[in-house]
Chains A and B, each alone.
Chain A
Amino acid sequence: MIEKVIEEEVPTTEENKERLRLLTVVRGETLRNRDIYERPPRYELFFPNFVMKELCVGLAFLIIIFTWAYYKDAPLYELSNPAETPSHIKAAWYFVGLQELLAYFDPYLAGVIIPSLILGGLYLVPFLDPDPVKGIGRFAFKERKFAIGCFLGGYVMWYALLLVGMFFRGTYWSFYWPWEDQSVVKATEVALWSFPLPAGIAFLVCYGLLMLLLPAVIFQDFFFRVGLIRYFITFNLFAAMCFVPIKVLLRNGFHVKYVLVTPWFNI
């Protein structure tokens, strides 16, 4: 009975506090001391309340993992053989997205530059966001459309690549639609072509200018709020991010190998 009274949200008037203290004294050790301190509205103690809740969730997952580990063995393939790559090879699931990305770009791009841009962009997030307070601690989808849109876009793209690599890629990393039989090796291979150098330069320059100038012209308020340097970095990263699906589209739709071919590097 006494506990029930305390669990309710009691307005913290001077009288109530006194009552709480008295109750505590009456129950002695059995009452947890959280209730004798003044509790801010809608807040709880980090320890033990919050930690205990986390621990409960952890224990639930412990049960899940133990059951899962009992019934499903961790994958182990045949002994490594430096003389032969298996015809059907997929990385562990968390790297399949990267593997799929690597199928569209040169290794220096997909393996080094793009991950560096992703991580560099993530590191820069707190400094690129011009607003220091908006939406802290809540899901402010409407007020932070651009920030959340960009982040979700990149996030979804990473996992979309992962899913495509996981379910639509078969033997020899050929693309199979869900209704196609993955055990049948694809009979035809389409040769790829690249943009000639002037066309490639023109494409990249137009793309870059479009991505850098258009948002500033359309959303002028946004441009002035963000400032030139932030704007420049943000939209360079944004353009790099949008280039990935564009290249995927060009590769799959038009069999384009490279947009830009130079003696030193290809894009």
Chain B
Amino acid sequence: MKWVPLGLVRYTFCLGGLSVFFFLLCILTGPFLMLYYVPDVNRAYSDVMDIMQVVPFGAFVRNVHRWSACLMVLCVPLHMLRVFLQAAYKPPRQLNWLVGITLLILTYLLCFTGYMLPWDQEAYWGATIGATMAENTPILGAKGPFSVLPSDKDIHYIMLGGTVLDQPTLSRFFFAHCIAIPGALAGLMGFHFYNIHRAGGMSGPL
């Protein structure tokens, strides 16, 4: 038997719940896109074209996936803002705030790896920028200040699976977008909810 403050939906705008909802929509539509999408640099773009133009309801499924992802990446920071403004990170909920920030990072990573997959111009140059940012990491990147690793051993090399964007990069991003990050996100989300429960429910007025 769990009691929560009455009218919670009204003045917290339900943002956390909506984030979960949008994530679920993405989880539901993603596998359908995977049926027609092959992460091959020569095929990826035409597969997305097929999804948009040939597959029945393909465009609709991709649109739902994309737009709900957009709304999710809007909702998650807003939820964080609400949590901060209502001081819900204070004891006993510190741990949940930390988990929440990790969820925020994972959401952004999910978006980054996701918009790489169509392999269009925006994806290619976006990924180039992301990879070069990794290359410029201090100490661990080849071009960053105080770098110690050569350009074929730094984190940029791990990220791309090479020194230029090519098939290994797309495979890696596909794996990250479809398996690694959603898995971590789902697991941490569960922990996030469990923590709410353990901390004695959502932050009511004290």
Asked whether any CB of A lies within 8 Å of a CB of B in the complex, the reply is: yes
Tell me the A residues contacting B by CB distance below 8 Å: 37, 39-40, 42-47, 50, 53-54, 57-58, 61-62, 65-66, 68-70, 72-82, 85-86, 89-95, 99, 102, 106-108, 111-113, 119, 122-123, 125-127, 129, 131-141, 144, 147-148, 151-152, 155, 264-265
In the bound complex, what is the Cα–Cα distance between A37 and B64 (angstroms)? 41
In the bound complex, what is the Cα–Cα distance between A57 and B85 (angstroms)? 22
Which one of B59, B73, B93, B125 contacts A73 once the chains associate, using CB atoms below 8 Å? B59
- Contact assessment for B63 and A69 in the assembled complex, using a CB-CB cutoff below 8 Å: yes
In the bound complex, what is the Cα–Cα distance between A95 and B63 (angstroms)? 19
- Closest residue of A by beta carbon distance from B72: A94
Known: A57-B14, A80-B45. A133 touches B90 (CB 8 A): yes
Q: Which residues of A contact B14 (CB under 8 A)?
A: 53-54, 57
Q: Which residues of B contact A95 (CB under 8 A)?
A: 111-112, 126
Taking A73-B59, A77-B123, A122-B101 as given, write out 15 further A-B residue pairs in contact, using a Cβ cutoff of 8 Å, ordered by the A residue number: A44-B6, A50-B9, A53-B9, A58-B21, A74-B66, A76-B49, A89-B125, A91-B126, A92-B122, A94-B70, A95-B111, A112-B133, A112-B141, A134-B90, A136-B206
A-B contact pairs, 15 of them (CB 8 A): A37-B1, A43-B204, A46-B4, A54-B9, A58-B18, A69-B60, A69-B63, A74-B63, A77-B122, A79-B119, A80-B124, A94-B73, A108-B137, A126-B90, A126-B98
- Contact assessment for A79 and B121 in the assembled complex, using a CB-CB cutoff below 8 Å: yes
Known: A94-B73, A144-B87. A43 touches B6 (CB 8 A): yes
Known: A44-B6, A137-B88. A108 touches B138 (CB 8 A): yes
In the bound complex, what is the Cα–Cα distance between A72 and B59 (angstroms)? 10
- Please report which residues of chain B, range 121-168, place their CB below 8 angstroms from some CB of chain A when the two chains form the complex: 121-126, 129, 132-134, 136-138, 141, 144-146, 164-165
CB proximity of B104 to chain A, nearest CB, Å? 8
Known: A137-B203, A144-B87, A151-B84. A89 touches B121 (CB 8 A): yes
- Closest residue of B by beta carbon distance from A71: B63
In the bound complex, what is the Cα–Cα distance between A47 and B2 (angstroms)? 7
In the bound complex, what is the Cα–Cα distance between A86 and B120 (angstroms)? 11
In the bound complex, what is the Cα–Cα distance between A57 and B60 (angstroms)? 22
Q: Determine if B8 is an interface residue (Cβ-Cβ < 8 Å).
A: yes
CB proximity of B43 to chain A, nearest CB, Å? 11
In the bound complex, what is the Cα–Cα distance between A265 and B145 (angstroms)? 6
Number of residues of chain B lying within 8 A (CB) of chain A? 81
Of the candidates A47, A86, A129, A144, the one having the most CB atoms from chain B within 10 angstroms of its own CB is A129
Which one of B5, B81, B94, B133 contacts A111 once the chains associate, using CB atoms below 8 Å? B133
Q: Which residues of A contact B123 (CB under 8 A)?
A: 77, 80
In the bound complex, what is the Cα–Cα distance between A91 and B70 (angstroms)? 13
Of the candidates B77, B122, B138, the one having the most CB atoms from chain A within 10 angstroms of its own CB is B122
Q: Which residues of B contact A77 (CB under 8 A)?
A: 120-123
Q: Which residues of B contact A140 (CB under 8 A)?
A: 87
In the bound complex, what is the Cα–Cα distance between A44 and B146 (angstroms)? 57
Q: Which residues of B contact A102 (CB under 8 A)?
A: 129, 133
- Nearest first, the 6 closest Cβ-Cβ pairs linking A and B are A111-B133, A69-B63, A80-B124, A74-B66, A46-B2, A126-B94
Binary flags per residue of B156-191, CB closer than 8 Å to A gives 1, else 0:
000000001100000000000000000000000000
- Contact assessment for A54 and B17 in the assembled complex, using a CB-CB cutoff below 8 Å: yes
- Closest residue of A by beta carbon distance from B49: A76
Q: Which residues of A contact B17 (CB under 8 A)?
A: 54, 57-58
- Please report which residues of chain B, range 1-46, place their CB below 8 angstroms from some CB of chain A when the two chains form the complex: 1-9, 14, 17-18, 21-22, 25, 45
In the bound complex, what is the Cα–Cα distance between A68 and B62 (angstroms)? 12
Q: Determine if B55 is an interface residue (Cβ-Cβ < 8 Å).
A: no
In the bound complex, what is the Cα–Cα distance between A72 and B111 (angstroms)? 19
Q: Which residues of B contact A123 (CB under 8 A)?
A: 98, 101
- Contact assessment for A65 and B85 in the assembled complex, using a CB-CB cutoff below 8 Å: no
Q: Determine if B91 is an interface residue (Cβ-Cβ < 8 Å).
A: yes
CB proximity of B129 to chain A, nearest CB, Å? 7
- Contact assessment for B125 and A85 in the assembled complex, using a CB-CB cutoff below 8 Å: yes
Binary flags per residue of B82-113, CB closer than 8 Å to A gives 1, else 0:
00111111110110011001001100100110
In the bound complex, what is the Cα–Cα distance between A135 and B83 (angstroms)? 11
